[in-house]
Amino acid sequence: MFIDYITLMLINMVAGLVLLADFVYCGLDGANLKRWIPGFGLVGAIALVTGLHMTLTWPVPGSFNISFGETTLLFGGLYVAAAIAIAQGWDLLSLTVYAFFAGLTAVVVGARIINLGQTNQPVVTGLGFILTGLGGVLAAPTLVYLRSNKTWRTVGAVVLLVAALVWAIIGFRGYWNHMEGFSEWQPPVMRGEP
C-alpha cells in the first residue's frame, strides 16, 4: 500500500482558496493586509511540504504525483511568498505573474484529467483544477486593472469559493473513504519487514 495524503492537500487547498476569496473581496482595498499573513503562511507551509515530498518521492500511483504534487508545490510557494510579501509591505505584482503560470498549469492539468478520465470523478476533479487555475490566471489583471471594480472582485471571490467547494467535496469524500480503506494498513516495521 502507498502513502496517500492527497486528502490533506485538498483540505489545505480549501482553506487557502477561502482565504484568497476573502483577500480578493476585502483585502485588495488595502485595509489591514497583515491579517492574512498567518493563514497564507500556514496554507503555504503545508502545501510546500506535501507538494515537495510528493514531487520528489512519487508516493502515489502514476501521474497523480504530477497532478497533485507539482500543482500543490506551486500553490504552496505562492502562499508562502504572499505571506512574506505582505509582511514586508512588498508589491504583489511579481507574484501575480507567477500565479498566472501556476494557474495556467492548473487549467492544463484539469483539462488533461478530464481528457484521460483520471480519478473517480474526472469532470469534477478537472473542474476543481480549472476553477482554481482561473484564480491564478486572473490575479494580475485583478490586481493591476480591476482592483477597484467591486463586481469583478465579487465574481472572482465566488469563483474561488466554488473551487473551494469542489475541493471540499472531493477532500471530505476522500477522508471518508480513506478511513475505511486504510483501516487495516500497518507500516512495514509492524508487518515484520525491514
Q: Is pTM, for the whole model, over 0.75?
A: yes
pLDDT tens track for 74-112: 999 999 999 999 999 999 999 999 999 999 999 999 999
Domain that holds residue 99: 6-178
CATH of the domain at 19: 1.25.40.600
User: Is the residue at 105 inside a domain?
Assistant: yes
Residue 1 pLDDT: 52
The predicted pLDDT at position 71 comes to 97
In a domain, 19, yes or no: yes
Is 160 among the domain residues? yes
Specify if 21 maps to a domain: yes
pLDDT tens-digit series, residues 73-83? 999 999 999 99
Query: Is 142 a domain residue?
Result: yes
Can you spell out the DSSP letters for 111-178? Answer: HHHHHHT-SSSHHHHHHHHHHHHHHHHTHHHHHHTSTT-HHHHHHHHHHHHHHHHHHHHHHHHHHHHH
Report pLDDT digits (tens) over 45-81: 999 999 999 999 999 888 999 999 999 999 999 999 9
Total count of domains within the chain: 1
